[in-house]
Amino acid sequence: MATLSFYGAAGTVTGSCSMLQATGARFLVDCGMFQGNKTIRALNDKPFPFDPAADFLILTHAHIDHSGLLPKLVRYGFKGPIYCTAPTADLLGFMLLDSAKIQNSNTERQNRKRQRKGEDPIEPIYTEEHARATLELLRTHDYGEWFEPAPGIHVRYWNAGHILGSASAEMKIPDAADGNTMRLLFSGDIGPEEKVFHPEPDAEQGFDYVVCESTYGDRERDDYTLEARRELLRKELVRGLSAGGNVVIPAFAVERSQELLHDIGVLLAKGELPETTVFLDSPLAKAVTEVFIKHAGTLDDVELDEAALFRDPRFRLVQDVEESKAINRITGGAIIISASGMADAGRIQHHIKNNIWRSNATILFVGYQAPGTLGYYITSGEPVVRIHGKEFLVKAEIRQLGNYSAHADQGELLDWVMERSPIAGHLFLNHGDDDAREEMARLLATRGLDPEKIVLPQMDEAFELVAGDAKSKGRLPERVPRTELLSDWNNDYAALIVALTQRLQDAGNDEERRKIIAALRRAL
Ligand SMILES: [Zn+2]
């Protein structure tokens, strides 16, 4: 018998964290940060709904929504080993320290606000010291190599094809109830089939329980080749630059920036772009690129030596804050790549502020946009958006390219699950919003999976796994009302201010504007 609990990424895509209790051991799979609206992010500040002093942790990959709360876990008592692949450990080496810096500056900003309101200061979720202590606990294993983190429990990693070092985790756990061995597989995040850098996702077949992500469970991409993807990018960049403005690309610091750079580098080298300067504005860019070069042997299909791109005079790596600010003076002809990919934090927000109101500018999104993030509102076609408490008209051309996503699409997810079959016990769908996982469950049923055996776990819900069956043991009291996950009152407030700004702008004259404001005040 074993108990499997879902403490995040259940009905949402962030905060990945599951716990298994079996044969006297208690361990975690991932411990990620919650991202999205303020209500979801507030979960990062609240205590864990479990005792953090677990025996060990199996980490699938370095993305912050899977690894970002590791230092918090260590801060509150976790002392065990954290298992991961070697490239994941290298990426975490600077990502967790950077995350600690971000926590620190967020807290400083909040405390300035709190001080003005006469409220007591708060502490950051964790500090660089906790991040460093976390790095000491990392233990690395290659793909395919079995290891035994606790007596009788065996684990090995499979390539998940998602980002550098990403893995699915296969486990064998003795089942005391019937003397058999339970076989489990956690997908982690699964990559697409056609992708520069990474071989296709891989794993064994035949499990008792599979936990599979469902980020793009309700979305299908057109098939594409790497050449076709680069051609689509070329068209977008040529169109954007020809309009006379800048092309601003929100991209995740790890991986997606590298793929974009790789393709832009190839286009520059072949002379297929108009005259331009490409800025990669990220404090992590250099460190990430070095990790990539170090692990180049594990990557597929690299057409261009990245070092060559960095020597190209049209290419600028921007790490320094002052240099980053200097980009604000450029009103056209540049390609600006910066994080975060969902535009909910980081330097990208400054570049969006400087360009989104210009009709000759382009904002090009290349990845998943979680509900509640700035990227989600911009790509939803909002005419006005709020950034740093100010309203901005959306006059720039808003474009999206799905082909740089690090995630498998619907068809690829379905194929991945079917290739893991037969699944004797249950399939748990996590890491996706409810629409995505309901659609995926429906389609899996049409491919022959027993719908009764597909489970959509709720946040903080636990399951008893025994002899091929999975029974819900119920869930803990709600940490966040389900309705708040997609949109909270802060989102409503922003929408109201945006609508009011728009209405006032559209009003024919000042008299009408005063009438609107008077009516609103009466309503209050
Ligand atoms: Zn990921």
**Which string of DSSP letters, residue by residue, matches 425-453?**
EEEEEESSBHHHHHHHHHHHHHTT--GGG
Which residue bears the tokens 């409220």? 119
Ligand 1 centre from 115 Cα, in Å?
36
Ligand 1 centre from 66 Cα, in Å?
7
Ligand 1 centre from 65 Cα, in Å?
7
The string of pLDDT tens digits covering residues 37-50 is 788 888 999 999 99
Ligand 1 centre from 420 Cα, in Å?
20
Architecture of domain 2-220+406-483: 4-Layer Sandwich (3.60)
Ligand 1 centre from 514 Cα, in Å?
49
Which residue in 21, 416, 411, 37 sits closest to 189, CA to CA?
416
Asked if residue 508 has pLDDT above 90, the reply is: no
Report residue 26 as tokens.
């208690």
Ligand 1 being an ion, which residues bring their Cβ within 5 A of it? 63, 189
Distance CA 168, CA 213 (A): 11
Ligand 1 centre from 432 Cα, in Å?
12
Ligand 1 centre from 167 Cα, in Å?
10
Q: What is the mean pLDDT of residues 359-372?
A: 89
Asked if residue 197 has pLDDT above 60, the reply is: no
Q: What is the mean pLDDT of residues 316-341?
A: 89
CB burial readout 11-28, b (16+ within 10 A) else e: bbbbbbbbbbbbeebbbb
Within 8 A by CB and 6+ apart from 55, the residues are 25, 26, 27, 80, 149, 150
Ligand 1 centre from 395 Cα, in Å?
31
Instruction: Please give the pLDDT value at position 231.
Output: 92
C-alpha distance from residue 4 to each of 210, 263, 301, 449, 475 (Å): 11, 42, 38, 21, 12
Asked if residue 387 has pLDDT above 80, the reply is: yes
Say whether pTM exceeds 0.75. yes
The string of pLDDT tens digits covering residues 222-246 is 767 778 888 999 999 999 999 999 9
The string of pLDDT tens digits covering residues 297-322 is 665 555 556 666 666 788 888 888 88
Instruction: Please give the pLDDT value at position 40.
Output: 85
Other CB atoms within 10 A of residue 115 CB:
11
Instruction: Please give the pLDDT value at position 177.
Output: 66
Percent of the chain exceeding pLDDT 90 equals 54
Higher-pLDDT residue of 76, 480 = 76
Other CB atoms within 10 A of residue 77 CB:
11
Distance CA 322, CA 93 (A): 25
The gap from C-alpha 22 to its chain's centroid, in whole angstroms, comes to: 29
Ligand 1 centre from 164 Cα, in Å?
10
Instruction: Please give the pLDDT value at position 300.
Output: 55
Beta bridge pairs of residue 187: none
Ligand 1 centre from 163 Cα, in Å?
7
Ligand 1 centre from 507 Cα, in Å?
45
Ligand 1 centre from 14 Cα, in Å?
9
Ligand 1 centre from 3 Cα, in Å?
25
Distance CA 343, CA 249 (A): 10
Instruction: Please give the pLDDT value at position 506.
Output: 85
Ligand 1 centre from 440 Cα, in Å?
19
Ligand 1 centre from 305 Cα, in Å?
25
Ligand 1 centre from 344 Cα, in Å?
17
User: Is 375 within 8 Å of 256 (Cβ atoms)?
Assistant: no
Distance CA 238, CA 231 (A): 10
Strand-pair category, 469-475 with 461-466: antiparallel
Ligand 1 centre from 81 Cα, in Å?
21
Ligand 1 centre from 160 Cα, in Å?
10
State the number of CA atoms in the 13 A half-sphere of 287 facing the CB: 17
The string of pLDDT tens digits covering residues 63-74 is 999 999 999 999
Ligand 1 centre from 349 Cα, in Å?
22
Q: What is the mean pLDDT of residues 440-448?
A: 94
Fold of 226-404: Rossmann fold (3.40.50)
Ligand 1 centre from 379 Cα, in Å?
21
Distance CA 299, CA 442 (A): 35
Where does the pLDDT of residue 175 fall: very low under 50, low under 70, confident under 90, or very high at 90 and above? confident
The string of pLDDT tens digits covering residues 401-430 is 877 778 888 999 999 999 888 898 999 999
Ligand 1 centre from 20 Cα, in Å?
21
Report residue 172 as tokens.
């064998």
Which residue in 281, 398, 377, 382 sits closest to 328, CA to CA?
281
Instruction: Please give the pLDDT value at position 482.
Output: 72
Query: DSSP letters of 340-407?
Result: -TTSSSSTHHHHHHHHTT-TT-EEEE-S---TTSHHHHHHTT-SEEEETTEEEE--SEEEE-GGG-SS
Distance CA 133, CA 73 (A): 11
Asked if residue 151 has pLDDT above 70, the reply is: yes
Question: Which segments of the chain belong to CATH 3.40.50.10890?
Answer: 226-404
Strand-pair category, 362-365 with 390-393: unpaired
Ligand 1 centre from 334 Cα, in Å?
29
Q: Please tell me the least confidently modeled range out of 101-110, 193-202, 346-355, 453-462.
A: 193-202
Torsion of CA 56, 460, 484, 66, to 10 degrees: 20
Q: What is the mean pLDDT of residues 456-475?
A: 88
Asked if residue 255 has pLDDT above 70, the reply is: no
Q: What is the mean pLDDT of residues 499-511?
A: 86
Ligand 1 centre from 189 Cα, in Å?
5
Q: At 485, give phi and psi (nearest 5°).
A: -65, -40
